[in-house]
Amino acid sequence: MDVIKLYTPEVPEGQFPMTMADVSGVKRKFLDVAYADQSKNQKMDIYLPDEGVGPFPVIVFIHGGAFWGGERRDFQMHYVVNGIRRGYVVVSLDHRLSDEAKFPEPVYDVKAAIRFLRANASTYLMDTDRIGVCGASAGGYMVTMLGATGDMDAFEDRTMGNAEYSSSVQAVISLFGVHDPVMQSQFTEDAPPFTPGGPKMANFMDIFMDFNCREKPALAMMGWPGNYITPACPPMLIQAGSADEIVPYQNSIDLADKINAVCGDGRAIFETFPDCKHGDPAFSTPEAEERRFEFFDSILKK
């Protein structure tokens, strides 16, 4: 049984209802913790195992939502929240969305969040030498950027706080993630409307990058995590559905191939979910959850 329950709140007519997580049953938690002060969206929730004084290894989750939606307490956190039963501190965080900030500012946010956790490790009973990150869709982009860029100054805004701490992470899981800006921009542009004669999806990658990625591919590829892979890149588990209609399946293959070309075979593990679409229920099965924790355990609990 999950440590949370999911529910769908009532919303005004015309608004899209978002399935949310009821976290009231989690015994030890710190909610609405600010990790920086530029935006109301720079907050996180921290969930601790029911018992013990740690220090516990950490899993940080970053939600998806096309860079303009989602939030830290929506249904997506169920991918990892059961980690508190397996001896992890689980953190779910928000960052500035594309209506408020453009690339690379949201990357600055998630790095500031990691530095904050290290600066406050004792408060939250964390072993911050053992941090794994997991993200879905646009969150997959954020976690692969965390893994690829390490403490690279170009992707740090240390004025956001805790400048003396590292933003590096030790393990990464990307679920049906956005990775390649040019490929994603073209894929969205070519995608059919949601319904015949209906509206097309807005080109969320162009909005996030703040320009047309197809027209400026060299500039856009400054946002590809693959460009920053070094031999220090942490292990990554990259999972994607072969029938994904929102994010190009090939962009996950290409990132895994680049990691293994630089770091050696096996640093990235690519796993296909055959015939699965974006966010398919197959990613939420007990078997899929066990696979994620198996990967994290193999690195963070050695």
Full 3-state SS string of the chain: CCCCEEECCCCCCCCCCCCEEECCCCCEEEEEEECCCCCCCCEEEEEECCCCCCCEEEEEEECCCCCCCCCCCEHHHHHCHHHHHHCCEEEEECCCCCCCCCCCHHHHHHHHHHHHHHHCCCCCCEEEEEEEEEEECHHHHHHHHHHHHCCCHHHCCHHHCCCCCCCCCCEEEEECCCCCHHHHHHHHHHCCCCCCCCCCCCCHHHHHHCCCCCCCHHHHHHHCHHHHCCCCCCCEEEEEECCCCCCCHHHHHHHHHHHHHHHCCCCEEEEEECCCCCCCHHHHCHHHHHHHHHHHHHHHCC
pLDDT, mean of residues 258-281: 98
**Residue 2: what pLDDT?**
85
Per-residue model confidence (pLDDT) at position 193? 87
pLDDT at 9: 85
Residue 259's pLDDT is what? 98
At the topology level of CATH, where does 5-180+229-300 sit?
Rossmann fold (3.40.50)
Per-residue model confidence as pLDDT tens digits over 141-174: 999 999 999 999 999 999 999 999 999 999 999 9
Q: What is the pLDDT of residue 14?
A: 65
Average pLDDT over residues 97-102: 98
Going from N- to C-terminal start, the domains of the chain cover: 5-180+229-300
pLDDT at 194 exceeding the cut of 70: yes
Q: What is the pTM of this model?
A: 0.96
> Per-residue pLDDT tens for 10-50?
767 666 778 999 999 999 999 999 999 999 999 999 999 99
